[in-house]
Amino acid sequence: MYHDFMDLYGDKGNMMVLKKRCEDRGIEFILDTCGIGEERDLSTYDLIFLGGGADKEQINLIPDLLSRKENIQKAMDEKTFVLLICGGYQLFGQYYIAADNSKIEGLQFYDYYTDTGKEGSRCIGNIIIDANLDGLQTKIIGFENHGGQTLHVKSPLGKVLVGYGNSFEGGYEGFYDGHILGTYLHGPLLPKNPDVADFVIMKSLQKHHPEFKMEDLMPLENEFDKNARQVLIQRLMK
């Protein structure tokens, strides 16, 4: 959604990773886009993706996003999985306070809300979190750069090992409830975390194949990915 607005730090790269990992397994992958004013029935999709953007982009798209609230709710009710990065994550909550203190109304699907960092302060830097995704225990690596402080998150994605997360002192990052995965991690997220990419693929496939499991995905052995992750984790956790 809003690929022409919400692509901060190469967030579209997440879709490139999903496409490649599906094609390598012989899984058909069709990538569609939905811009402002374009008619789409989002409930027909297996996965909805919304990336990050600056305050200006979020303000520009919010009327169109809010007009799709009922259709997005229908999609989630019908088991469409939702992946949200940064601004996309914020907009599924109650509201977002921009840097100029203007209030941007969110979709209000969840209780969390996002205040602005005081005196222009921001959470910036590399980040590692320890997450449990439906039994998949994994360390997720990324890069965060956000002034927004997301509070009242009842179901965080993971515990922060390095970095900030949802807020300066919160100790936890992102949101995951089985239906949506929201996170501040850019980089983009999925090239650094192939197990998370496969998890998103699995959750998307479960819309029409509810019994599908992670072990049903053909393994994609890549020593380079594995070694690069190990080096990053060791370097950042020193």
Catalytic residues, by residue number, are 86, 186
Nearest to 237 by CA among 126, 88, 77: 126
Q: Cis link prior to 188 (omega < 30° from 0)?
A: yes
DSSP, collapsed to helix, strand or coil, labels residue 130 as strand
For tokens 């999709």, name the residue.
Answer: 45
Strands 180-183 and 81-85: parallel
Q: Give the N- to C-terminal CA distance of the chain in Å, as an integer.
A: 38
Q: Is 213 within 8 Å of 201 (Cβ atoms)?
A: no
> Residues 115-144, buried b or exposed e (16+ Cβ, 10 A)?
ebbeeeebbeeebbbebebeeeebbbbbbb
Torsion of CA 162, 163, 165, 170, to 10 degrees: 80
